[in-house]
Amino acid sequence: MALKVVALAGGVGGAKLAHGLAQVLPPEDLTIIVNVGDDFQHYGLSISPDLDTVMYTLAGIANPVTGWGIIDETWQAFTALEHYGEDMWFRLGDRDLGTHLLRTHLLNQGLRLTEVTQRLSQHLGIGPTLLPATDDTLATVVNTHEKGVLGFQEYFVKYKWQPTVTELIFEGRAAMSSEVQIALTEAQLVVICPSNPLLSIAPIFAVAGIRDALCDLPCVVVSPLIGGRALKGPADKLMRELGYEPSASGLASFYADIANVLVIDEHDGDVQAAVQAVAPTLHLYQTNIVMQTLPDRQDLANRILSYVSEVYL
């Protein structure tokens, strides 16, 4: 069925389902809107970790262990910087540096991040359209109890997301690009991939107009939790710290007025009543949402699209 799908994704977990969708949908029917709140300047380079994680994953060159960075990476530049006494808390591989160098160069020449991303992803042979959520500056700032205000990567990588988060601030007045606007106008289904709701999806909602657009579109949310725990990263910890129960009903309340279908894992048990209490009209689809292999990603994407087409569209 020709169905125009827009996926929202952030880090590693979201990229996996985006990859599954890219396997089962024609490239012209899939647009992936990616979080840019993790972006930062490092050694003068413009780094877009979530765009790179989605791009490398769809290109089949992502490091399969970490989920971020490039497979078979070398670390000559990184080692050289360490020899100069630098504290290299953020690892920059040699192949990955190629991406950062070219992105920084093209941005300095005046290209928008959207145009840079299209150029990089085309050279990596990626069919679907990858779009940053905005071309404006948008930075996730993390206020923590133990360390005060931290930049995202300081919180996430340097302090390994251990500090207690008291507040997330999405700095910048970010507007949708025309490309994002058109994608959301043409969308027949939105898939919110299993990314961290607070760190990866909330910054996308901070872009003016995106949240409102999603309220008027059929939207399926895929849980990043299994039995209340994040498969990887701090999704459950962040939800708890910011007042959401790390559960199907916690997700239902976070995505209230946006989600029409919530996909949770079969191991989450019978949560139907709890979810109905929070979101009476929400369709709950319980299935195996663990993606360890590429076939798993493809299979989950197929199951979700089939369920939504039968039950909701």
Residues near ligand FO1 (CB under 6 A): 10-12, 38, 49-50, 52-53, 68-69, 90-91, 96, 153, 156-157
What does the DSSP 8-state code read for residue 48? -
Identity of the residue, 4 or 147, whose beta carbon is nearer to ligand FO1 in the bound complex? 147
Identity of the residue, 169 or 277, whose beta carbon is nearer to ligand FO1 in the bound complex? 169
Do residues 35 and 200 touch, judged by C-beta distance below 8 A?
yes
- In whole angstroms, the minimum distance from the beta carbon of 305 to ligand FO1 comes to 25
- ∠ Cα 64 70 71 (to 5°): 50
Of the candidates 57, 79, 77, 82, which has an alpha carbon nearest to the alpha carbon of residue 69? 57
- In whole angstroms, the minimum distance from the beta carbon of 264 to ligand FO1 comes to 22
The b/e string for 196-211 (b: 16+ C-beta within 10 A; e otherwise) is bbbbbbbbbbbbeebe
- In whole angstroms, the minimum distance from the beta carbon of 200 to ligand FO1 comes to 6
Residue nearest to ligand FO1 (CB): 11
- Return the HEC string of 254-281: HCCCCCCEEEEEHHHCCCHHHHHHHCCC
Residue with tokens 């929202």: 8
- In whole angstroms, the minimum distance from the beta carbon of 156 to ligand FO1 comes to 5
- In whole angstroms, the minimum distance from the beta carbon of 47 to ligand FO1 comes to 6
- ∠ Cα 216 218 219 (to 5°): 105
Identity of the residue, 156 or 254, whose beta carbon is nearer to ligand FO1 in the bound complex? 156
Identity of the residue, 37 or 275, whose beta carbon is nearer to ligand FO1 in the bound complex? 37
- In whole angstroms, the minimum distance from the beta carbon of 43 to ligand FO1 comes to 12
Identity of the residue, 68 or 244, whose beta carbon is nearer to ligand FO1 in the bound complex? 68
Q: Name 137's bridge partners.
A: none
Identity of the residue, 29 or 39, whose beta carbon is nearer to ligand FO1 in the bound complex? 39
